[in-house]
Structure 1
C-alpha cells in the first residue's frame, strides 16, 4: 500500500509544479485550470495517508508533509475567489443610477439556437451593455431585435466560433473592431458615454485558447492580454475589460494581466462565479471575466441561468465614482513580471501600440 501512496504523492507533486514552468504549451497551461479539483484530491490523499499508513514511519510523514504542501499551494491560488478573502473592490454604498453601468457578458456557443433564453435575460436584467461571444450571422439576426432598446452596436458575425457583438443603451464612441494577434480573432474597443456625462473606455476580448485542436500554445491568448493590459495601465480614464478570456481567474497568466494592467477583479473576496462548463458541475471554471479600474465599486455580480450554451452568462453592475478609490489596490508588477510580459509579446511580435485607445486624445 505504501508504494501506491508514494506514486500518488509523486503524481500530485508533478501536476502541482508543472504550471510553475512558464512554457506556453497547452498541456502545461491547462494545469492552471483544475486547481480546486486538485486541492480536493490532495485533501483526500492526505486523509488516506493518515488513516491507511503507519504514522510512525519517517517516509509516511514525508508523504504527509509533501501532500499537505501541495494542498496549501493549490488553495493559495483559489482561496482569493471565496468569501474567506478580503474583497479587492469595495461595495457601492450610494445609489447613483446615472453613474451605474450594468454589463451582461455571454458566450452563446455558435451552434446553440436558444436565442430567446438570452433575450429573456436581457429583458429581465435590463443591462446597459450586452456582449456576446461566438455569435454568428444567425445570432445577429436574433439579437438585432434589441436595437429598439439598445440602439448602439458593434457587430462582427463570424462562423469560426469567434464572432462578437456588443449592443448598448449608452452611446458607443470611437468604436473599433481589431484583430490584435490572429487575423480571424476579433476584439472590440469603444468609449461608453454614461448618463452623468463621463466616458468609460471598454475593451471586449475573446482570445483563442491553448488546446490541441486550436493553438498548441497559449502565446496568442497571452499576447493579446498583455497588449491590452499595457495599453490601459497608464490611462487616467475609467477602464473596463471584459469577455471570455479562455483562461481561469487564478492562473499565472491572468494574474500577470492584472499586474501589468493595474485593473481590479471584483470577484476577489466574493466568489468564483464559474461560468464554464454548464454540463459538468464538478469541472467548472471562471472563464468569463470583468476587470476594471479603481474608478468603480460593485453593486452586484452574479452568474445567470443557462441559455443552452456551454457557458453561463455573467452579469455585473458597477458604479462609476467621481475619483478612483485609493483604498482599492490590485497587484503590482515587479521586474520579473515585466520581463515575462515582454517575452510574451515579443514572441508574437506585437505591442500595446497596436491596441485602440478610444478617448486617449481627449
Structure 2
C-alpha cells in the first residue's frame, strides 16, 4: 500500500530529471513484484484447498487460534468469542498465569488440555473437547519459546497430528535476526512431512503468508494454506486499520478440505483471532496437490536448520 501511494505521488508530480524517473521506474518494478507475491492470496488465483463436500460431520475439526496479547485484560471477550465460534480446539498464545486463571472456567467444556503459561509473552495454552493423545510441550530451538505437538482424535476416530507454534519475531527489541524463527518453522515442517497421519499446523508464525520462509515451509511440509485463492485474512495489527498483515496461520495436509475460514472480531489484543473449520476427507488427497519442492528448496531448508 505504501509503495502504491509513493508511486502515485511520484506520477502525480511528474518526474522531470533522470534520477526522478529512475526512482519512479524502480518503484513501479517493486510494485509489480509485490503484486506477484500477494496475487495467490486473492480471489483471482486458484484455491489451494477445495471446499468441503459436507458442511459438518464427525470428520470435521473447528479450530480457534488467538494471540491474546499478554497485557490485555479483556478475557471476557474471549469467553464470548468461544461461545460464538463453538470450536473443538482452542489455541491461545502470549498467555501467562493471569490468563490461565481467567480461562479455567472453560475446563468443563474443554477437559483435554496442554498448558505452558509463561511471563515472557511466549506462553501457550491448548484446550480441546476432542481427546488428545501423546501430547508434549517442546522447546525446539530456544529455551524459553515453547511449541506443542499432540494427536487429536476426531469424533470419527481418525487421529490428526497437531503442531502449535509461536516463534520469536525478528525485531530489534527481541531478536534482530530471523534465524531462530526460521529454524523452528522448518523443524515443524520436517516433522509434518514425516507424519503418518493427517496434519494441522497452527499458530502465530510472526511471518507473512507470502514470505519466502512461509513458502518454503509449505514446500518442505507438503501442507496447504486455506487462504490461497480466498483472501489475506490479515490478523495483525488489529489496532491499525491501515497497516495489517496475515501473521496467524493454520495449515493442513492434502487430505483435508475447507468448510469455512474467518477472521474474528478484535478482543482487545493487537491480533485478530482466526477461526477455521476443516473436514478430513481422504478423497481430497487424490485431487489436491502438495506444493512442489525442488532440490534447491531442500538444500536451503537444511542450511537454515544448521545455522546457530
| TM score, norm. by length of structure 1 | 0.81
The CA deviation at 1:339 is 1.6
The CA deviation at 1:38 is 4.3
Deviates more, 1:155-164 or 1:71-80: 71-80
- 1:204 matches 2:164: yes
Aligned counterpart in structure 2 of residue 275 of structure 1, from 235, 258, 271 = 235
What is the 5 A alignment of 1:148-167? 148-167=108-127
Q: In the alignment, what sits opposite 1:105?
A: 65
- 1:52 matches 2:14: yes
Deviations 1:182-207 (A, max 9, x none): 00000011000000110100000000
The CA deviation at 1:143 is 1.0
- Gap runs ≥5 in structure 1: 1-36, 349-362
Deviates more, 1:230-239 or 1:158-167: 230-239
What is the 5 A alignment of 1:220-235? 220-235=180-195
- 1:115 matches 2:72: no
Q: Is the 8 A contact 1:103 1:129 kept in 2?
A: yes
The CA deviation at 1:79 is 1.5
Change (3 A) 1:234 1:323: farther
The CA deviation at 1:240 is 0.3
The CA deviation at 1:113 is 1.1
- Give distance in 1, aligned partners of 2:19 and 2:237: 39
Q: Is the 8 A contact 2:55 2:259 kept in 1?
A: no
Q: In the alignment, what sits opposite 2:4?
A: 40
Q: In the alignment, what sits opposite 2:288?
A: 328
- Give distance in 1, aligned partners of 2:51 and 2:3: 30
- 1:131 matches 2:63: no
Q: In the alignment, what sits opposite 1:70?
A: 30
The CA deviation at 1:142 is 1.4
Aligned counterpart in structure 2 of residue 265 of structure 1, from 225, 242, 252 = 225
Q: Which has the higher helix share?
A: 1
| TM score, norm. by length of structure 2 | 0.95
The CA deviation at 1:64 is 5.3
Q: CA RMSD in A?
A: 1.7
User: Which is greater in Rg?
Assistant: 1
Secondary structure of the 1:299 match is strand
Q: Is the 8 A contact 2:256 2:282 kept in 1?
A: no
Change (3 A) 1:45 1:187: same
Deviates more, 1:212-221 or 1:227-236: 227-236
Q: Is the 8 A contact 2:257 2:284 kept in 1?
A: no
The CA deviation at 1:236 is 3.5
- Give distance in 1, aligned partners of 2:19 and 2:87: 58
Q: Give the length in aligned residue pairs.
A: 308
- Gap runs ≥5 in structure 2: none
Q: In the alignment, what sits opposite 2:52?
A: 92
Q: In the alignment, what sits opposite 1:191?
A: 151
Q: In the alignment, what sits opposite 1:219?
A: 179
The CA deviation at 1:256 is 0.9
- 1:340 matches 2:300: yes
- Give distance in 1, aligned partners of 2:6 and 2:254: 36
The CA deviation at 1:342 is 1.2
